[in-house]
Each structure stands twice: as C-alpha cells, then as structure tokens.
A and B are shown apart, each in its own frame.
Chain A
C-alpha cells in the first residue's frame, strides 16, 4: 500500500544534542510537510517542500531545519533541542498541480520526541 512512513516512532535525545527525524513516502507526491504537535493541541506547520522549493513558516524557530534529498525522503533536523521541543512530529504529503487547486494531505504515524 502507498503510504507515509516515519522513523523512528519514538526518539529520545539529550538537551542540546542534534537530532534528525526522517520521513519517506511511496505516494510519489511532490509536496512534503513537517508539523509539530504538542499534547492536546492541533498540529502546527513548521515548513514544507514543494518539489525542491523550501517554504518556511514565519514563526518556525531557526533551530528547526529540513532537507529533502529526493522525492521520497524528507528530514527534520533539530540543531539544539530544548525541553520545549518535546512533541509529536508529523510528516504529511500531498500532490500539487501547477494550476493549484484541490490538495489532500496524507499523514504519517508521527515520531514522538522526548528531550532529557
């Protein structure tokens, strides 16, 4: 089945130690998103890639970076995790046409990050 895969499902890191979360997809979608979701809150968009074009949200801290080496993979790098970065990180994908229009985002299972 076509799907969005996130590894690992749980990640423990230390305060200030860089960490990378990964997302892959078999949907061949051209847009990949990263969301942060804290407990009992709605997901918050951090940034997205449309093909190779990176689109950062205005309020995303510089501590969060992303890489998309190819269509299938996208990484979320947290350069110096703080205690406030402990959250669920969700990856999503969608297919965007050049004319714009109807898009549906499909989400992966998420990676829960714990910062010690």
Chain B
C-alpha cells in the first residue's frame, strides 16, 4: 500500500525567511504528487502538482516543489515566507490503480513569526 510521510508536524519560520516542507512517499510506480494548503476553517487549496516531465514544478503563491525519484521525495519550498503563509500543508499521492484516490500525508503546520 502506498503511503505519504511528512516528517515535520510543526515548523516555525520568520517572515521573510525561506521555507522547506518535506514529503516522502512510498509508491510502486511513478506517482502523481500534489501539495495542498489549508487555512484554519477552510478547504484545501491546490498549490501545485506533478504528473510527469520537468521535476521542478512551479505553483501559486510563489511556491515550488521538486520531485526526486531517487529519494522518493517531493519537497515544497518558498524563498521568502509571508505572514499569510501560516497554514497547514498537505502532501498527497494520487493512486492511479485506484481511480486516482488521494493518499494524504499527516500535514505540516507552519507558523510565521513577525
């Protein structure tokens, strides 16, 4: 069975500093990978996705992620964090053999210090 691990439950970062959120997955084939962001009391907003091709993916709000097959990772990065980036971030893998069902990681909560 596939799985997604987000090793960091909480991350605190200063406004203007860089941010990297880790995501590791276990999947037999080339995965479909997603990052979603969830603000308190809100639904999930798609930040970016990887299906194939260029392993560096650009998303909304200045985020990017890099697919590294050798490390089974899909880490999310942002060079300069804004206070509005405080939220919960979920990495997910699309399970193609099961109708593209999403398997989510446990999430990383990001706090931004002024």
Contact = CB atoms under 8 A, between A and B. Distances in A.
B63 interface: no
Given A94-B100, A107-B43, A42 B51 contact: no
Interface of B is mostly: strand
Interface stretch (A59-67, A77-85, A97-105): A97-105
Contacts of A90: 43-44
Contacts of B43: 4, 6, 90, 107-110
Interface of A: 4, 6, 40-43, 45, 48, 50, 55, 88, 90, 92, 94, 96, 100-110, 112
Given A102-B32, A102-B51, A107 B100 contact: no
B15 to A, nearest CB: 24
A96 B100 contact: yes
Contacts, number: 55
B101 A96 contact: no
Nearest to A43: B104
Nearest to A55: B99
A103 B99 CA distance: 9
Interface of B: 32, 34, 36, 41-46, 49, 51, 90, 94, 96, 99-102, 104-107
B41 A104 contact: no
A11 B42 CA distance: 15
Nearest to B9: A40
A64 B25 CA distance: 30
Q: Which 7 A-B pairs have the closest CB atoms?
A: A42-B104, A103-B100, A107-B44, A107-B43, A109-B43, A110-B43, A102-B51
Contacts of B46: 104-107
B101 A45 contact: yes
Contact of B99 (A6, A50, A109): A50
Contacts of B44: 43, 90, 92, 107
Given A102-B51, A109-B42, A112-B41, A42 B100 contact: no
